[in-house]
């Protein structure tokens, strides 16, 4: 199922996303270097109502539950234009999904409609200095004294850290792991900007200094924190593959445009054998990973947990392919591929982090191999 064969309502969703991408395109370079949430990008997203795709219909969404294929299509379209646009959309779902599936009715009604409308910004707080791929090493602690919850510790490398209105926080509680919803304006919450990255991203640290929360702040029951993390990954990991496809497609289009106008040795560049080979390999890889990604997203919509192994394959394959494709495209464009702040240069930098966040390629390979071994018993 290629980008041209999607049936309604997905074809209409792609059209809606393309309208927003076209609106953002004139400021894409500026937005992608922005250190905060770009106000015009946020306004365009709010006006588009595409935020309805990341929450359930009962709380302002468009589908009965979050539809992974719809999210993939939007992220594919957005990432081809602006990484900032893609991140702002995708993180609303990643940051709020634990509320959708583990929150109380009161939490859902308070937060999800505002998140769908981009009136509030959501964040998922998992990573710590010593807990990246190994989330069981988290040290942020939650204690329950019977009348209130107390949260202490520090999260690092958190997307939307200093702009978020809420944090879904994975924490250690006794011998298990729980999750709580923490409003950003709670007493004891502090944020600081993170390091400058090769591809700018709104990221930072969040501190919790004896933050006191009511028992109703829990997301899910005590000890269900990892279940909510896995539910989020099962639904949204495949969307990273969608973003990678969008990036790779954009890079390929830049290379094709260059090949149409550039001549070498008295003939169009694309007629040179090595260049034609790189174009053909890139186009073929792109369609292969698009097919896998759409299939994984459809399966995730039916049973996200069951589809997680295939979603991991899609994320692995698409992000690795995007790295190869954009590298070929820079090579095809020669010295024009090395121009700072050109679109191809931005895509080259933006492709690299995709193989690290939402599960590094190495961790995904371990999980896929484990599933193979266990299935063969």
Q: Which residues are known to be catalytic?
A: 358
- The CA distance from 78 to 176, in Å, is 38
Cβ atoms < 10 Å from Cβ of 157: 19
Task: Give every CB contact of residue 335 below 8 A, 6+ residues apart in sequence.
Answer: none
DSSP state of 156: E
Instruction: Specify whether the CB–CB gap between 315 and 235 falls below 8 A.
Output: no
- The CA distance from 90 to 307, in Å, is 19
The string of DSSP codes covering 330-353 is: HHHHGGGGG-TTSHHHHHHHHHGG
Measure CA 294 to chain center: 16
| Alpha carbon distances (Å) from 125 to 6, 210, 234 | 34, 17, 17
The two beta strands, 122-125 and 166-173, are: parallel
Tell me whether residue 260 is exposed, middle or buried, using C-beta atoms within 10 angstroms of its C-beta: 0 to 12, 13 to 18, 19 or more: exposed
Task: Give every CB contact of residue 301 below 8 A, 6+ residues apart in sequence.
Answer: 67, 68, 69
Token pair recorded at residue 98: 């634990």
In 3D, which of 80, 10, 2 has the Cα closest to residue 289?
A: 2
In 3D, which of 62, 54, 48 has the Cα closest to residue 19?
A: 48
Instruction: Specify whether the CB–CB gap between 79 and 246 falls below 8 A.
Output: yes
């Amino acid at each position: 199922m290629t980008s041209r064969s999607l049936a309604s309502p997905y074809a209409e969703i792609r059209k809606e996303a393309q309208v927003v991408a076209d609106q953002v395109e004139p400021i894409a370079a500026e937005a992608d270097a922005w250190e905060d949430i770009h106000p015009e990008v946020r306004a365009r997203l709010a006006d588009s109502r595409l935020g309805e795709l990341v929450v359930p219909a009962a709380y302002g969404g468009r589908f009965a539950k979050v539809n992974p294929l719809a999210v993939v299509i939007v992220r594919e379209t957005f990432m081809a234009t602006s990484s900032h646009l893609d991140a702002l959309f995708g993180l609303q779902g990643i940051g709020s999904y634990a509320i959708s599936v583990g929150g109380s009715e009161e939490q859902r009604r308070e937060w999800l409609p505002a998140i769908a409308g981009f009136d509030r910004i959501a964040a998922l707080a998992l990573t710590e200095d010593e807990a990246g791929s190994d989330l069981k090493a988290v040290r942020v602690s939650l204690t329950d004294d019977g009348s209130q919850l107390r949260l202490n510790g520090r999260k690092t490398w958190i997307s939307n850290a200093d702009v978020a209105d809420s944090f879904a926080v994975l924490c250690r509680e006794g011998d298990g792991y729980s999750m709580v919803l923490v409003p950003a304006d709670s007493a004891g919450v502090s944020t600081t900007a993170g390091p400058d990255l090769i591809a700018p991203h709104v990221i930072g640290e969040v501190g919790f200094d004896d933050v006191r929360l009511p028992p109703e702040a829990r997301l899910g029951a005590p000890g269900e924190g990892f279940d909510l993390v896995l539910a989020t990954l099962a639904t949204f990991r495949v969307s990273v593959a969608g973003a990678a496809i969008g990036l790779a497609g954009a890079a390929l289009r830049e290379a094709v445009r260059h090949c149409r106008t550039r001549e070498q040795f008295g003939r169009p560049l694309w007629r040179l054998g090595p260049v034609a080979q790189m174009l053909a390999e890139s186009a073929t890889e792109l369609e292969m990973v698009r097919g896998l990604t759409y299939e994984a997203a459809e399966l995730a919509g039916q049973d996200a947990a069951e589809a997680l192994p295939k979603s991991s394959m899609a994320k692995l394959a698409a992000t690795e392919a995007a790295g190869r494709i954009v590298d070929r495209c820079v090579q095809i464009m020669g010295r024009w591929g090395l121009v700072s702040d050109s679109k191809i240069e931005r895509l080259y930098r933006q492709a690299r982090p995709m193989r690290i966040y939402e599960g590094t390629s190495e961790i995904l390979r371990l999980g896929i191999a484990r599933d193979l071994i266990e299935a063969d018993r």
